[in-house]
Structure 1
Amino acid sequence: MTGKVMIVDDEPHITRNLEKVIPWEMLGLEVAATAKNGREALEALQGGEIDLLLCDIRMPVMDGMTLVKTIRDAGMDLDIIMLSGYQDFSYTRTAIQYGVQDYILKPIPYDELTGVIARVMSQRRARQRQQQDERVRMNAVLDLANEKVLFDVLKDYTDVSHNHWLVAEDEHELSGRSYLLLVLDMDAGAEEAKDWREWNDKERKLWNFAVANVLRESLRRSGMRHAVIQMRDGEWCVLAAMKEGYRFDRGETSQWIEKLLEEIRKHVKLSLHAGVWGDLVDMKGLSTAYKRVHRSMQLDPEAERIRFFTGETLLQNVSHEVLWSSSERILEALKRGHAQDVNEEMKLLSSRLQSLGTPELGRIKPVLHYFALHLMREMKEMQLLGKEQEEALWRKLDRRISAKDLLSVIRQTADAGLAGSSDKKKHSERTIAEAKAYLDRNLYRDIGVEEAATRVGLSTSYFSLLFKQTYGETFIEYVTRQRMEKAKQLLENTSKSVAQISKEVGYSERRYFTKVFMKYTGENPTDFRARLQQPG
């Protein structure tokens, strides 16, 4: 990319010579503007970016030093080489104070000036590359951090607005962000999923990890800011942050999603189904949009691999909607281990099915079949189904069975889940307490929810649910709060640097730590420490 140069000198012949004699093209530069004094230069600077300014000192209207001071006060990012016939060191000292890169005496030695320009621009380009690398690293840190938070947002475990202390991005940046929400799910009842059923937990984790990596790499190549969140075994939510002014286009979106699905087919040998929320959604609307897409993917009888859903989609079949709502209440009661609520909902579900005629039962059957699959996957996530129980239920679902038999499978799955949950309740309490103690001992490490869940032998989604139920806040909220409180203590009671404290509380990137700390306390770490150390 060609750099832009501005020449500011009140002597026209010097300006002409500089334009003609300096090998600008060889230096990767072009003269974009000239001016006869500082005021003209400032007006020209409003019209576009300039990388390098060659500036005389003595000029009418506004001299060079005043121009340079004004540029620096305004925070303009450009390099400056001063040209002057004055050898007085006071000029040089003032120029250095204003951040001038070099100072050339007139008459201008053009060969020397060419070398100075080459050196200054080489340093500028190296600095720009470094800043770009830092931005890429910082964006990666922010994306990973927000990805950890977004699971809880999608599950409605936490309410995160743009000014919430968990979200470490600039408020203006996040408040204007809109997401394209995509849910990718496997068909657990399909023929190609039979291998997946036979895998052990380690094999499934590796497979899930591989799918997530393929998605992230494909999205990275597209240049999109994105998050890939595994919602459960075999299901992912992809959030792509769209730039302001982006208009949702189903045709373009379908092509993009088809490329993602093809990448997964190619590298992981698996076909997934995609459900897309039919409009862009902000942070506050993510949970509702995710739940609606997740539900609609199961209630929509069409078999297209890519389907779009909106708020109206759910109203197309009221009987399906009522059945699904009942099914969700059964699942929520199972997760809480409330046997009475499960039994009452099962009775209501059975009564509803008995009141339906044969044609309606036939239409309801696919929803019942999905709920049986959904329930089994959720019980598997919560480790409430034994291997033999799971295999027996799969054998039944693989056969063509009636709606009545499907209800029996749901009942058996629920009973198995209840039996497992009553045995596991006290064990789960001990397990989460063990995880909390592990976190408290390892705050200095960048521990993710996946590591903590694996440590105590639980799936990520079930661990997140138990942690929220037990402590009233999400895993990420708890860890971040503990780290910030520890950082406050260290800032108040030790002389350790901010960089040292950042690492001691688990943040390898000091700037990211500062962002989180400012969100949490309203002050940056240096100001926080200075305020506490003020006398009186």
Structure 2
Amino acid sequence: MRNLTKVLPWEDMDFEIVGLAKNGIEALKMVNEHQPDLILSDIRMPVMDGITFIKELRSQNNHCEVLLLTGYQEFEYARAAIQYGVKDYICKPIDYVELENTVRTLSLEIKEKRKKLYKEQQLTQVVHWANENFLLHTLLGQETDKGDIHLGEDEDVLDRKEYAILLVDLEGYAHQSITWSVHERKAWNLHMKEMIRETFQPLMKEQTVLQIREGEWCVVCSSPGIGHRLSKELLHPGFLKLQALIDQKDNMLLRMCLEQGPIALSQMASVYKRMQQALIVNPANEWFVNSDKVVSKDAIPVQDYNATQWKWIEQIGTGLRNGDSQALQQMISELKHYVGHLNENSVGRAEKLLHYLLIHLIREMRELHMLPVDQEESVWQQLQNSLNLKDLLSLLVTLIERSRESVSSKKTSEQLMLSAQDYIQHKLGKDFGIEDIAEYLGISCSYFCLLFKNHFGETFVEYLTKQRMEMAKCLLRSSDKSIAQIGVGVGYQERRYFTKVFQKYIGMTPSEYRLKESPAS
């Protein structure tokens, strides 16, 4: 078998030899590690023979191509192996010309199969992203277009569908993550999103996990029918599993708010706001909150909050992201007027609201690179003290003023590039190019390339590759996902191509890097 590695032009046939095994046991381990496209196997091997190996391979749902090498006296065994999906068999003594022709034919078939599979995966991904994007915009109360969503024959299916929502939020995330790098935060949030999906998949049908912002996720699923209602008790094992994962990183509390509906699509935005409010007005040490109930006697009923006050939470995000300095100034005036006209009974409620607004503002300013790390750390140190209403207002106004200055000082090109940076960070695992991001920004491809190179000092492809490789490094260190899964997670559908790019960028393969960076090493 070792001789075959030298006599055939494998590279010319677009094959890379990933391993040689002495027997079927070794071969199975290598298959699990490398996921090959083609296996050449002898029938007669020690420990585990070729027929048993192929049976075991198929029992593991592995459908890679197998070429069987057989002696003349083993011909009947080879015929029997065909039932296990062996592509062909080559009789000994081996005719190397025949073997090369067979392998070349298989190479073309594998490429065609891979191309077809890739197109199917792309279509599935596009449909998934379109539906996820639609649900996210609906949740946030933004205009959405169902034109690009694949709905099958029933175009009104989304409008008529009824949903349930589980809001998952990390208490203390903004403070605890201040020392993390951008790549660490993105990688960790991506890992948490996947873990939330896996944890609640058995309980929630047709679920979609949406990343609302760092440290906050919404699980949207079909509303459970009678007899399958969700409850605090059913969610508790999942809470314990996720909380244990969080405790490994930092001291943060996972909190959940449940609305099991049925919720119509048109109600989703208002329900989401109510769930956010329910988490805010209930004590931070309570891990579970019903969206329509206040469990604690110390909590302030959601309905007591004025709608104008909740509007400020939305204004922070829209004002900062749209560069609307005037809207931020208007918010300062409204806050001062609100605090100045409070009665004594409302002070406690107002302090809670201003404290939440501060945390929300810090999160948004961080996302938009408006708050340097040292300044953010200073704000958090101030929040550790027992600030009264006047101090909270002063700190909030100072931060809003700082954000206004940042918004006013940024040039149009800088705002475009910040939007481009945010777009790239949120789509690292997706298939997109210059045309997509230029269309998103509303500018031409040539103008985008010019702005991008001037702003970042490198081309879009160079920057995107670097961001994906840094994300891959974080995932290799912090998760137990396979190399192939991590490759897909950072935008590379082909494991081999991901390995090639990673090795070129880092100087070692993903497997070598993981081994080098593992705690044991």
Q: Taking structure 1 as the reference length, what is the TM-score of the superposition?
A: 0.51
Q: 8 Å contact 1:183–1:238 — kept in the other structure?
A: yes
In structure 1, C-alpha distance between the alignment counterparts of 2:316 and 2:361, rounded to whole Å: 9
Matched, 1:340 2:335: no
Cα 1:151–1:430 change in 2 (3 A) is same
Cα 1:356–1:288 change in 2 (3 A) is closer
- Give the secondary structure class of the aligned counterpart of 1:272: strand
- Give the secondary structure class of the aligned counterpart of 1:158: coil
In structure 2, C-alpha distance between the alignment counterparts of 1:223 and 1:383, rounded to whole Å: 36
Task: Give the equivalent residue in structure 2 for 1:266.
Answer: 244
Alignment partner of 1:306 out of 288, 293, 312: 288
Amino acid at match of 1:228: V
In structure 2, C-alpha distance between the alignment counterparts of 1:453 and 1:370, rounded to whole Å: 36
Partner deviation per Cα, 1:312-344 (whole Å, 9 max, x = no partner): 999754355443334433543333222233223
Alignment partner of 2:134 out of 149, 155, 167: 149
Instruction: Report the CA distance between 1:392 and its aligned residue.
Output: 1.1
Task: Give the equivalent residue in structure 2 for 1:290.
Answer: 272
Task: Give the equivalent residue in structure 2 for 1:352.
Answer: 338
Q: 8 Å contact 1:157–1:468 — kept in the other structure?
A: no
Q: 8 Å contact 1:183–1:276 — kept in the other structure?
A: yes
Q: Taking structure 2 as the reference length, what is the TM-score of the superposition?
A: 0.52
In structure 1, C-alpha distance between the alignment counterparts of 2:272 and 2:345, rounded to whole Å: 31
Instruction: Report the CA distance between 1:467 and its aligned residue.
Output: 8.2
Amino acid at match of 2:133: K
In structure 1, C-alpha distance between the alignment counterparts of 2:350 and 2:410, rounded to whole Å: 34
- Give the secondary structure class of the aligned counterpart of 1:337: coil
Pairing 1:410-489 to 2, within 5 Å after superposition: 410-431=396-417, 449-450=427-428
Instruction: Report the CA distance between 1:425 and its aligned residue.
Output: 4.6
Task: Give the equivalent residue in structure 1 for 2:12.
Answer: none
Task: Give the equivalent residue in structure 1 for 2:149.
Answer: 166
Cα 1:423–1:311 change in 2 (3 A) is farther
Task: Give the equivalent residue in structure 2 for 1:281.
Answer: 263
Q: Which segment drifts farther, 322-331 or 206-215?
A: 322-331
Instruction: Report the CA distance between 1:377 and its aligned residue.
Output: 0.7
Q: 8 Å contact 1:182–1:275 — kept in the other structure?
A: yes
Identity of aligned residues (%): 22
Alignment partner of 1:186 out of 151, 157, 170: 170
Partner deviation per Cα, 1:287-336 (whole Å, 9 max, x = no partner): 22222222332244575321122499997543554433344335433332
Q: Which has the larger radius of gyration?
A: 1
Alignment partner of 1:361 out of 344, 347, 353: 347
In structure 2, C-alpha distance between the alignment counterparts of 1:262 and 1:331, rounded to whole Å: 32
- Give the secondary structure class of the aligned counterpart of 2:290: strand
Q: Which segment drifts farther, 303-312 or 151-160?
A: 303-312
Instruction: Report the CA distance between 1:179 and its aligned residue.
Output: 1.5
Amino acid at match of 1:380: R
Matched, 1:408 2:394: yes
In structure 2, C-alpha distance between the alignment counterparts of 1:411 and 1:248, rounded to whole Å: 50
Cα 1:224–1:143 change in 2 (3 A) is farther
Instruction: Report the CA distance between 1:159 and its aligned residue.
Output: 2.7
Over the aligned positions, Cα root-mean-square deviation in angstroms equals: 4.3
Q: Which segment drifts farther, 178-187 or 305-314?
A: 305-314
Alignment partner of 2:235 out of 257, 263, 267: 257
Task: Give the equivalent residue in structure 1 for 2:226.
Answer: 247
* 5+ long unaligned stretches in structure 2: 1-82, 84-116, 444-490, 494-521
In structure 1, C-alpha distance between the alignment counterparts of 2:421 and 2:346, rounded to whole Å: 48
In structure 2, C-alpha distance between the alignment counterparts of 1:467 and 1:397, rounded to whole Å: 41
Partner deviation per Cα, 1:72-106 (whole Å, 9 max, x = no partner): xxxxxxxxxxxxxxxxxxxxxxxxxxxxxxxxxxx
Q: 8 Å contact 1:142–1:169 — kept in the other structure?
A: no
Task: Give the equivalent residue in structure 1 for 2:304.
Answer: 318
Instruction: Report the CA distance between 1:383 and its aligned residue.
Output: 1.7
Q: 8 Å contact 1:339–1:418 — kept in the other structure?
A: yes
- Give the secondary structure class of the aligned counterpart of 2:201: helix
Instruction: Report the CA distance between 1:424 and its aligned residue.
Output: 3.2
In structure 1, C-alpha distance between the alignment counterparts of 2:164 and 2:283, rounded to whole Å: 23
In structure 1, C-alpha distance between the alignment counterparts of 2:311 and 2:125, rounded to whole Å: 38
- Give the secondary structure class of the aligned counterpart of 2:262: coil
Cα 1:455–1:258 change in 2 (3 A) is farther
Instruction: Report the CA distance between 1:405 and its aligned residue.
Output: 0.6
Cα 1:151–1:409 change in 2 (3 A) is same
Instruction: Report the CA distance between 1:184 and its aligned residue.
Output: 0.8
In structure 2, C-alpha distance between the alignment counterparts of 1:223 and 1:277, rounded to whole Å: 12
Q: 8 Å contact 2:332–2:400 — kept in the other structure?
A: no
Matched, 1:224 2:192: no
Matched, 1:234 2:215: yes
